[in-house]
Structure 1
Amino acid sequence: MSLKRIEDWDDILEPLQLPLNKPAEPFIKLNRVTTSEAALNGENWHDNMLKLVASWVAKGNTDEEIDVLAGRLTLPGYTIEQTLKDVRPMVDSARQKGFAISGEILQQSSYIGHHNQIYLMKVSRTGPKEIRLTNFHAEIIYETTVTNGIDNSKTFTVVGVLHNGTPLSKFDVEANAFDKLEWLPTNWGAKAQVTVGSMYKAHVAAAIKERSNPKERTVYSHTGWIDKNGKFCYLTNRGGISAAGLNEEIETELQGSLSDYDLPAPNENGAEKLFEILQHFFKLVDDGTGLLLVGAAFRATLSEFKKCTVSVFLQGTTGTFKTAISGCIQAFYGKEFNGSHLPENWSSTSNAMEKKAFLCKDAVFTIDDFVARGTPSEVSRSHKDAERVFRAQGNQSGRDRLISTTEVRGAYIPRGLILATGEDIPNGHSLQARCVILSIKKGATKTDTLTALQELAKQESLAQLMSNFLSWGADQADHNKIKSLITAAHDDCIKELPTSGHTRMRDNLASLTSGIWLLLQFGKERGDISDEEIQKFKAATLNAATKVAEFQMSVDQEASEADRFIEYLRSSIAMGAAHLANKYGTCPDAPSTWGWKTTGTPDNEVTYGQGTKIGWIVGKEIYLDMKAALSVIKTFSTRLGNHLGSSELAIKKALFEAGMLEKEGEGRYTKKVSVEGRRENVTCIQVSLLMDIEEIEREPSEDDEPLEENLPF
């Protein structure tokens, strides 16, 4: 028979539970003589020895004294060594349990509650002593794990009552801060007191935890899909939407504006307004781009199953209703959203935007009003923030974090789809390639249609449609169909889209159009939309996508590094910040065109090059000193608030890929030419890229230095 079962203490001793709001009941007393006789006679030896050991430990007997006492109770046929081998684990267990005694009173815990106060039962050789720790009773009722999908934190929900019966407020405290008791004055003020002494604070925290029996629960601080007991649920502020409906027992805590991601329970008639809603969005803007926005809203919800690597940028000047339109799209996630209330705006820090985009999992996250205004540093910061957010979305990557313990935590990556609005378009060719840019012109928005959509949003019709779509999506996911449905819709769309432009453009547009495809499939299965209507909306969506592709090609071209370089080069020369010389280093033909200025009287004219000499014009070619040119252009672009930050090699490569550069040999973007009597490695571009003028040949003047041909180096 094993005598090392520590759990036997609880079964045998039947610890006395003291109600905190009632007087203490009499403790269980132990008659050592009777118990010893029973053990010696072999009656329940194990149980009786456990009781005796507990009493000896509580009395303060040393290990040697206990060995002597236990040895006297050795059963016939056993040796004292065998008895002590069985008893010593009991002694260790009893000491760990913290048995206390008052006279011959046996108590399992070293902490007791009495009249809504907590006491420490301290035992010494002189006897037990009760020390009051608090003038209140406190209990942890919930032990909550809060998760955002990467980070987990634990909180305790604490309730309490003063010794006079006055209730104390309920509050939450981080588990790792509980033992410090700093939450005590913050939440309960001066009336809740702890006995003076640093050691007693530790006892108070230990006593509350020991005497509590908290209910464990999990709370989600993000939206989107989770796997709950093998079934997919979509989290909103009200709970989790599954194929079976809304489960309000799934707890969420969405902070700030995220709490308005609040969807109703799915119902039988939730999709009956599908045709009406799509028709309104089709008519909303002249070119039908409203349908692409709807596609973005519904495609975003499926990011769990296939990530969205595209953002949508709604661009337009003041008065184009871009914010009001984005409010209607955001209202698919909750009726409280509108043009005056959106999840985020560009005035927030990039860290805040990243964190919120991470928490808005499988949803559209609107960032309103991108306007690059102010000082050069403020403008640069605005574009830098936009680049950081859009790159994180497009690349599905971000910056890992190093916390105070030097532990590396994962990056906060956007897990849905970002919808941004603004008057300005963020800088950068590759950055804009990660966005679908929808430009709205003044007068293109139908205000009566917009009003109708806003009314549907207030009535929760948009959110109700989304709720039913998500319930359908959960059912598809539970049956392992959703990924194949998304892939099929994406492939179907991409075949119908233009092949020109940036390589990512077709994929970006296919992501949006596939959202419409899946919404229409959902409506068809429910019988809420006809085949004829489906074909109509598909054709309208593809037509809108084609127009967007054409517009984006022009935007991408303007934003490319090569085009920006040429534009800044032209402007720098025109404004006198730089000039080009002829191959002799002197004034070229049409000097004012190439940055030269003539001053003085007709009899005493002086012509000089303005700013920095950045190259030479020879025939129909321009030989650029790239380092000199970039030093001028980078300064010039910074003053304009649109800094050209690319390296010399990146600019040369961009010029070559755009067909603007004469390349000499494989892997080389420079040519070696003779200018001003020396050999130079130059970047060669055509004159026609800068100026549309006729080339005028002239003979060298007497002032020109002769060109040294056939130089030996």
Structure 2
Amino acid sequence: MADKTPPDNPITETIKKAEKPKLKGIDGGKAKETLQDSNPNDVIEWKSKSGDYQIINGAFNQIRPTRDGTAKIKLCNFTCEITEEITYEDDLNDKAFFRISGKRQDGLPLPTVDVILTKFNMGNWITEAWGSRAIVYSGVTKRENIRVFILVYSTRNRDIPRQHVYGMTGWKNIDGAWFYLTGSGAIGENGLDTGVQVDLGGGHMAKYSLPEPPTPEQLKVDSAALDDLFNICPNRPEIGAVMLAAVTRAVLGECQLTDFAIFIQGQTGWGKSSCAAIASAFFGSFDTRSLPANFSDSDSDMEAKGHQIKDGVYVIDDFKPATNAVEATKLYQSQ
């Protein structure tokens, strides 16, 4: 019988014997920018539970699976972590931000910065905060991976500490209880709570700070200051009465809106600033040279400070209309 087996096809035999091609980079090896071979001298300082992220030689690295095992992708030349999550409340521009500290891979400390949460999520805060000292390497997903890495690394041992900071004075209902906010904390029915943080900014605004409420014995002595204010102008008792009323009325702003101001008028050297400083001193360590605001401040600055000082005496000093008619008009309009 004749053999009907078809002859071998040389093309088919060649394909069967061929090995599966290996993926190569453009230089014949692995792509250098994204897939880096492990170095025996690498120091792995920390790695996530999932193993996706590692700190190697003082920098953030992402670990990706490959056909031959894993490969590391260097994300940047630094490490950093969130030390605090802070909510800032002033009833005008409430905001939340992360306080972040970092270190470059060569050991250079990077300054602690406050990063608004929206900027943190976008990932463009690093260059704004640390300039050329901190480098994020090129790659579509590197910023997103750095964002996730920071969150994972910052919560490796515990939740990130959180704090609430108030940016104004005055009455505030906190967890169902009323407190009077001041630079030193919050005054409630049990006295001064220094655990409540109030930040009014720098300069003379930081002088708004009240001590622990006085004891009954101290109150008898302190009440003499009220008498001194009332008799500040013996020949014009109405002036002292108005100033005393301003002090006592200011703290009632939560109950009844304060929609008026007091204007002290007089010639230079008559003690206008001194009179206003005495009233201000009931709310902090003020004197004639450290009043909170001045008419030379910008309109927006004066308005912002006035918003911060809720339920307190707020003084804008040194109203001096310019001799130039245009400048004088602007100053009158800013009142």
- Smaller-chain TM-score bracket: 0.7 to 0.9
Alignment partner of 1:332 is 2:279: no
Change (3 A) 1:144 1:24: closer
Alignment partner of 1:264 is 2:214: no
C-alpha displacement at 1:377, in angstroms? 2.2
Instruction: Note if contact 1:139-1:208 (Cα within 8 Å) is conserved in structure 2.
Output: yes
Instruction: Note if contact 2:45-2:55 (Cα within 8 Å) is conserved in structure 1.
Output: no
C-alpha displacement at 1:119, in angstroms? 0.9
Q: Which residue of 2 aligns with 1:101?
A: none
For residues 312 and 223 of structure 2, the distance between their equivalents in structure 1, rounded to whole angstroms, comes to 22
Change (3 A) 1:323 1:189: same
Alignment partner of 1:302 is 2:260: no
2:88 to 146, 157, 160: 146
For residues 24 and 174 of structure 1, the distance between their equivalents in structure 2, rounded to whole angstroms, comes to 27
C-alpha displacement at 1:385, in angstroms? 1.3
Instruction: Note if contact 1:278-1:291 (Cα within 8 Å) is conserved in structure 2.
Output: no
Opposite residue 143 of structure 2, the aligned amino acid is K
Change (3 A) 1:333 1:22: farther
Q: TM-score, normalised by structure 2?
A: 0.77
Instruction: Note if contact 2:44-2:54 (Cα within 8 Å) is conserved in structure 1.
Output: no
Change (3 A) 1:306 1:109: farther
C-alpha displacement at 1:357, in angstroms? 0.9
Alignment partner of 1:363 is 2:274: no
1:162 to 98, 104, 107: 104
2:117 to 175, 198, 207: 175
Gaps of 5+ in 1: 1-20, 28-106, 387-713
Alignment partner of 1:200 is 2:142: yes
Q: Secondary structure at the match of 2:115?
A: strand
Opposite residue 175 of structure 1, the aligned amino acid is L
Opposite residue 194 of structure 1, the aligned amino acid is V
Q: TM-score, normalised by structure 1?
A: 0.38
C-alpha displacement at 1:138, in angstroms? 0.7
C-alpha displacement at 1:174, in angstroms? 1.8
C-alpha displacement at 1:164, in angstroms? 4.5
Gaps of 5+ in 2: 1-42
Q: Secondary structure at the match of 1:266?
A: coil
Instruction: Note if contact 1:135-1:192 (Cα within 8 Å) is conserved in structure 2.
Output: yes
Change (3 A) 1:314 1:23: closer
C-alpha displacement at 1:24, in angstroms? 5.4
Q: Which residue of 1 aligns with 2:65?
A: 123
Q: Secondary structure at the match of 2:143?
A: helix
C-alpha displacement at 1:198, in angstroms? 5.3
For residues 275 and 219 of structure 1, the distance between their equivalents in structure 2, rounded to whole angstroms, comes to 32
Change (3 A) 1:22 1:198: closer
Q: Secondary structure at the match of 2:86?
A: strand
Deviation by residue 1:43-81 (Cα, 9 ceiling, x = unmatched): xxxxxxxxxxxxxxxxxxxxxxxxxxxxxxxxxxxxxxx
Instruction: Note if contact 1:138-1:208 (Cα within 8 Å) is conserved in structure 2.
Output: yes
Q: Which residue of 2 aligns with 1:342?
A: 291
Instruction: Note if contact 1:160-1:170 (Cα within 8 Å) is conserved in structure 2.
Output: yes
Q: Which residue of 2 aligns with 1:236?
A: 182
- Percent identity among equivalent residues? 28
Opposite residue 303 of structure 2, the aligned amino acid is E
Matches within 5 A, 1:49-128: 108=50, 110-125=52-67, 127-128=69-70
Q: Which residue of 1 aligns with 2:191?
A: 245
- RMSD across aligned C-alpha pairs, in angstroms? 2.5
Deviation by residue 1:181-240 (Cα, 9 ceiling, x = unmatched): 554355445443332345423322232123223222211111111112221111111111
Instruction: Note if contact 1:184-1:192 (Cα within 8 Å) is conserved in structure 2.
Output: yes
2:224 to 273, 276, 283: 276
For residues 200 and 175 of structure 2, the distance between their equivalents in structure 1, rounded to whole angstroms, comes to 22
For residues 123 and 384 of structure 1, the distance between their equivalents in structure 2, rounded to whole angstroms, comes to 68
Q: Which residue of 1 aligns with 2:26?
A: none
For residues 186 and 339 of structure 1, the distance between their equivalents in structure 2, rounded to whole angstroms, comes to 40
Matches within 5 A, 1:189-588: 190-197=132-139, 199-213=141-155, 214-256=160-202, 257-268=204-215, 269-285=217-233, 286-288=235-237, 289-335=239-285, 337-386=286-335
For residues 206 and 23 of structure 1, the distance between their equivalents in structure 2, rounded to whole angstroms, comes to 18
The structure richer in helix per residue is 1
For residues 324 and 124 of structure 2, the distance between their equivalents in structure 1, rounded to whole angstroms, comes to 44
For residues 24 and 254 of structure 1, the distance between their equivalents in structure 2, rounded to whole angstroms, comes to 39
Q: Secondary structure at the match of 2:267?
A: coil
C-alpha displacement at 1:270, in angstroms? 3.8
For residues 161 and 133 of structure 2, the distance between their equivalents in structure 1, rounded to whole angstroms, comes to 28
C-alpha displacement at 1:115, in angstroms? 4.4
Q: Which residue of 2 aligns with 1:390?
A: none
For residues 287 and 192 of structure 2, the distance between their equivalents in structure 1, rounded to whole angstroms, comes to 24
Opposite residue 219 of structure 2, the aligned amino acid is A
For residues 280 and 267 of structure 1, the distance between their equivalents in structure 2, rounded to whole angstroms, comes to 18
Q: How many corresponding residue pairs?
A: 285
Instruction: Note if contact 2:291-2:316 (Cα within 8 Å) is conserved in structure 1.
Output: yes
For residues 138 and 126 of structure 1, the distance between their equivalents in structure 2, rounded to whole angstroms, comes to 31
Instruction: Note if contact 1:141-1:212 (Cα within 8 Å) is conserved in structure 2.
Output: yes
Opposite residue 239 of structure 1, the aligned amino acid is G
C-alpha displacement at 1:162, in angstroms? 3.3
Instruction: Note if contact 2:46-2:54 (Cα within 8 Å) is conserved in structure 1.
Output: no
C-alpha displacement at 1:247, in angstroms? 0.8
For residues 186 and 137 of structure 1, the distance between their equivalents in structure 2, rounded to whole angstroms, comes to 16
Q: Secondary structure at the match of 2:263?
A: strand
C-alpha displacement at 1:132, in angstroms? 1.5
Opposite residue 232 of structure 1, the aligned amino acid is W
Instruction: Note if contact 1:219-1:251 (Cα within 8 Å) is conserved in structure 2.
Output: yes
